[in-house]
Structure 1
Amino acid sequence: MKSGTTRRTFLRSSILGGAGLLLLRDSRTALGYQANDKLGIASVGVAGMGWGDLSNVSGENIVGLCDVHESRAVKAFEKYPQAKRFRDFRRMLDELDKQIDAVLVSTPDHTHAVASVAAMKRGKHVYCQKPLTRTVFEARVMRETAAKHKVVTQMGNQGSASEGVRRSVELASAGTIGTVREAHVWFGGGDGPQTRPTDEPPVPPDIAWDLWLGPAPFRPYHPAYMPGVWRRWRAFGSGSMGDMGCHTINIVFRALRLVDLWTPDPAKARSERVVIGVEAEASEVDAEGYPRWMRVNYDVPARGEMPPVKLKFYTGGQKPDEKVMRGEPMTKWGSLLDGEKSAIFSDCPWNTRYNLLPKKEFEGFTGPEKTLPRPKSHYVEWLEACKGRGETFSSFQIGGPMTELIQLGNAAVLIGKPFEYDTLSGQILNAPDANQHLHREYRTGWKL
């Protein structure tokens, strides 16, 4: 972006308060972005999902590319030859500070927070892949940092821009299915115990292993960890729960206004607590990896006029009772709001489509007016918001609490007993020793 300092300052000042959402400004103002203005974008992680994320913002100015696995980054390096190349995102942020307006973070889960927070502290807008973080504590820091530095953020659960998600939320909010006191989220993927390798093959010359580890405790390189397979290791990934949870819970989380649990009531005392009960059952407990299957129960308190609700999560082929389907066949994947009159259901992992159940009762049903915006895409929505035009639907003010809830499920397996979690303090109340599972100590030299 040419001479972006003035415009960037304007954009930062236009994002207001702890909600972290952009207030719409008149795009005709002299400081507003014109249609042909482009952002300076840098990407941390440019293969896999990083390649997809880059492809969706390729109309902007790609100024920096960072990846610790050079051979996997070649495709991006060749497509964006004008971009400067790095292995260490910290160096990229230092050297290109004046050229960067926004940053993509598409790395393994364990480095999402350190890269995103470093960028936000410099006033850069951030698009970060899901789950937003690997730990509960990191999710809270991400949300707080985004609000403090007034940057535009978006978590990469791209189904958020779909008709399925937005229409489902509108229908639920209009009372179409009645009061909801139970909800279910299930998906077929599972994991399994992991055994740490004992052999130590040499680090390939194209991999910066120490940088790939980032804040994780040191361990020797092994192809059992990367690429891709890192998801199954607790040190680096979040298992099936983290991988798909922020996609498949989308309708449920939004329709039930679960984000309200993280917003203190100004009319109440500062000593207020908002407590979620969490309990997990799993095929096994493994310190290195994630279970083959999990069932997690969340007891969610009231949110305003909405009553308490039981939210039930299932992985690895576990499913709710078929009666919740109201006569329709059970599916491999599902997200279901079980209302007193009917149900809203999606069989898509990304919640991009939905049905009202029982289907036969809703033939020809049109429903209430549409109230939510329909962006061209999840990425376009973020880019437009970065330029002062509109808001993001999956900002870190939403993605942070959503990730926090998901990672509480992963932590619950290790904790091994029911616990009470206070969303306002970020602490487990009835089992203080269990708080150790909400974060992991970083290696020396790494911090948020």
Structure 2
Amino acid sequence: MNSRQSFNRRRFLASGSLAATSLAFPWISVRNVLGANSRLNIAAIGAGGKGGVDIGYCAGENVVALCDVDTRNAAGAFKKFPEASIYQDFRELFDKESSQIDAVTISTPDHTHAHPAIMAMRAGKHVYCQKPLTHTVEEARILTKIARETGVVTQMGNQGHSQTESRRLVELIQAGVIGEVKEAHIWTDRPIWPQGLKRPAEVQAVPDTINWDLWLGPAPERPYHPSYAPFKWRGWWDFGTGALGDMGCHNMDLAFFALDLKNPTEISGTGEGGTDESAPTSSKVLWKFPANKQRGPVELTWYDGGQKPDPSLVSEKELPGNGCILMGTKDTMYVPSYWGAASFLSGASMEDFAGIDASLPRWPGADKDNDKAHHHEWIAACKGNAKALSHFDYAGPMTEAVLLGNVAIRAGSRIQWDAESMRVTNNEHANQFIRKAYRKGWELPV
């Protein structure tokens, strides 16, 4: 098979549905899934920083194109994949390489996720997109819809979703070991970049290695400044989603996965030190999720910027930088990190529940490198041999809910949310943060 030949998608299930035989035993054999004779042709949109990591995990496939607006930041990926075509504009990449591409990774700042994701899905390409899935609530809704319409395989880059112990915790929660979960408390040590900023007044020269116009993409016209790129963009509303947007899709994943959380009806948030341009230095947000067929209502509280829940909730004197507490009617589960093994307030251990059957697939090595496992799950799903579990039908509603926390913070009040009409019903001012305006020439390609 020619190394650049597009593999025949008709040989596989384009919908990415899990092969029936995989359900008999939850461990998936990477060796059987990733055959050398059925390699994907993959393009990376965003190849520096996290983008280099993402496409690096796809090195067993045919990496045919790399796109990055910062040639210095992406130099490592350019060197690693010397046969790949190089672009700065993802629109040009699609124009010239679309017939050669089966799938894309998207690892750009938040404000430039939606455009290439929509273009890729409309062209029938599978998509791996970094978290948060989008920059706005409206964009998340649009990507979810297009993913359903096109049937391509999708995966959001919240790699803890594939972690072995995290999937075990989902099974235990759904088996009822802590009873009906009523409350969740989740926190992070972010931001580790500046927030609560005023826009810089001085203008600096654009580095020769950056195409600043393409870096801005759909964002408002702003002069270049190192306060934005290459890393500090997360703290600016024009480009990022703050600590909540960055870490919410990681640290909240266990609660969303296990409890099927979506479409909160009420959100209230407070932030300290925020400005019109920049996310707050710390925040606390409460979501109220309605009951569904499997559980009653759930209240989830988020903390960042040094704020944390009361450690006495889990009989501790101090809490670590990141964690999750799920409070059920029978017991309380405590995960003292982004993901991984849990302890129980009752004194129970994970081993006490060994008799509960596994129901979710496992990836070998996911306990040591969940990021690798998460990418390989997506690759296997593209070939019809697995199901990508952080697909956009899951990741889209999750991103909507997370970003509604930012809407409440920016609105400065409790908001009531009507998911069906995608509107805040009690505060018209808040609706301006559900969507955004796009720079001329960068309208959303829906």
Q: What TM-score results when the alignment is normalised by the length of structure 2?
A: 0.90
How far does the alpha carbon of each residue in 1:73-100 deviate from its partner, in whole angstroms, 9 at most, with x for none?
A: 2211111111111010010011011110
Equivalent of residue 19 in structure 2, options 8, 20, 24: 24
Give the AA of the match of 1:441. Answer: A
Cα drift, residue 34 of structure 1: 5.6
Give the whole-Å Cα distance in 1 for the aligned partners of 2:172 and 2:343: 9
Aligned residues of 1:285 and 1:291 also touching (Cα < 8 A): yes
Distance 1:56 1:109 in 2: 21
For residue 41 of structure 1, give the secondary structure of its aligned residue in structure 2. Answer: strand
Aligned equivalent of 2:257:
254
Match status 1:208 vs 2:211: yes
Question: Following the alignment from structure 2 to structure 1, what is the Cα–Cα distance between the partners of residues 351 and 145?
Answer: 45
Match of 2:242 in 1: 239
User: What SS class does the counterpart of residue 226 from structure 1 fall into?
Assistant: coil
CA–CA distance in structure 2, aligned partners of residues 247 and 14 of structure 1: 27
1:371 & 1:328 partners in 2: Cα distance?
Answer: 35
Is it true that 1:400 corresponds to 2:396 in the alignment?
yes
Contact 1:14 1:25 in 2 (8 A): no
- How much is the aligned-residue C-alpha RMSD, in angstroms? 2.1
3-state SS in 2 of match to 1:96 = helix
Q: Which moved more, 1:382-391 or 1:356-365?
A: 356-365
What is the rounded CA distance, in whole Å, between the counterparts of 1:119 and 1:25 in structure 2?
A: 28
Residue 354, structure 1, aligned to residue 349, structure 2: no
Query: 1:47 offset after TM fit, Å?
Result: 0.8
In 2 relative to 1, CA 396–79 (structure 1 residues): closer, same or farther, beyond 3 Å? Answer: same
SS in 2 for 1:181: strand
1:265 — aligned with what? none
Distance in 2 separating the partners of 1:128 and 1:90: 16
Alignment of 1:62-101 (within 5 A): 62-101=63-102
- Once residues 301 and 10 of structure 1 are traced to their aligned partners in structure 2, the CA distance between those partners, rounded to angstroms, is 42
Kindly indicate whether residue 188 of structure 2 is the aligned counterpart of residue 199 of structure 1. no
2:406 to 410, 415, 419: 410
With 71-80 and 239-248 compared, the bigger mean Cα shift is at 71-80
Q: Distance in 1 between matches of 2:258 and 2:209?
A: 46
Aligned counterparts, 1:417-428, within 5 A: 417-428=413-424
Partners of 2:35 and 2:406 in 1: CA distance = 45
Q: CA deviation at 1:365?
A: 1.0
Shift, 1:408, TM fit: 0.6
Preserved contact between residue 252 and residue 336 of structure 1 (Cα < 8 Å): no
Asked if structure 1 preserves the Cα contact closer than 8 Å seen for 2:323 and 2:335, the reply is yes
| Alpha-carbon distance between aligned partners in 1 of 2:350 and 2:110, rounded to the nearest angstrom | 43
User: Which whole-Å deviations, capped at 9, do the CAs of 1:121-149 have from their partners, x for residues lacking one?
Assistant: 11100000111111111111111111111
1:51-70 alignment, distance < 5 Å: 51-70=52-71
1:168 and 1:344 in contact (8 A); partners too = no
User: 1:34-433 maps to which residues of 2 (within 5 A)?
Assistant: 36-190=37-191, 192-259=195-262, 261=263, 276-326=265-315, 329-349=318-338, 351=339, 353-358=340-345, 360-362=347-349, 364-367=351-354, 368-376=356-364, 377-433=373-429
Cα shift readout 1:209-229 (whole Å, capped 9, x = no counterpart): 000000001111111110101
- Is the CA contact 1:39–1:60 (under 8 Å) kept in the aligned structure 2? yes
Aligned-pair distance for 1:8? 2.4
SS of 2:352's equivalent? coil
CA shift in 2, pair 1:182/1:434, >3 Å: same
Using the alignment, how far apart are the partners of 2:9 and 2:198 within structure 1?
A: 48
The Cα of 1:386 is off from its aligned counterpart by 0.3
Rounded to whole Å, the distance in 1 between the matches of 2:251 and 2:64 is 33
The alpha carbon displacement at 1:359 in A equals 6.1
CA distance in structure 2 between the partners assigned to 1:379 and 1:50 by the alignment: 12
The CA deviation at 1:354 is 2.3
How many angstroms does 1:9 deviate by? 4.7
Against the structure 1 CA distance between its residues 309 and 227, is the aligned structure 2 distance closer, same or farther, given a 3 Å change threshold?
same
Report the 3-state secondary structure (helix = DSSP H, G, I; strand = E; otherwise coil) of the residue aligned with 2:75: helix
Residues 233 and 288, structure 1, Cα contact 8 Å, conserved in 2: yes
SS of 1:336's partner is: strand
Alpha carbons of structure 1 residues 33 and 216: separation in structure 2 relative to 1, 3 Å: same
Using the TM superposition, give the Cα deviation of residue 425 of structure 1 relative to its aligned residue in structure 2, in angstroms.
2.6
Change (3 A) 1:287 1:71: same
Displacement of 1:429 in angstroms is 1.8
Distance 1:114 1:407 in 2: 18
Q: In 2 relative to 1, CA 33–187 (structure 1 residues): closer, same or farther, beyond 3 Å? A: closer
Contact 1:154 1:392 in 2 (8 A): yes
Aligned residues: 422
Q: Residue 303 of structure 1: CA displacement?
A: 1.2
Instruction: Give secondary structure in 2 for the equivalent of 1:184.
Output: strand
Q: Which moved more, 1:333-342 or 1:421-430?
A: 421-430
Secondary structure of the structure 1 residue equivalent to 2:284:
strand
Aligned counterparts of 1:95 and 1:364: Cα–Cα separation in 2: 54
> Matched residues in 2 for 1:151 and 1:217: separation?
31
Q: Secondary structure at the match of 1:166?
A: helix
* Aligned-partner residue type, residue 362 of structure 1: S
Q: In the alignment, does 2:436 pair up with 1:447? A: no
Contact 1:14 1:23 in 2 (8 A): no
Residue-by-residue CA offset, 1:9-53 (whole Å, 9 max, x unaligned): 554x642xxxxx5253799xxxx9965210000001111001101
Structure 1 equivalent of residue 27 of structure 2: none
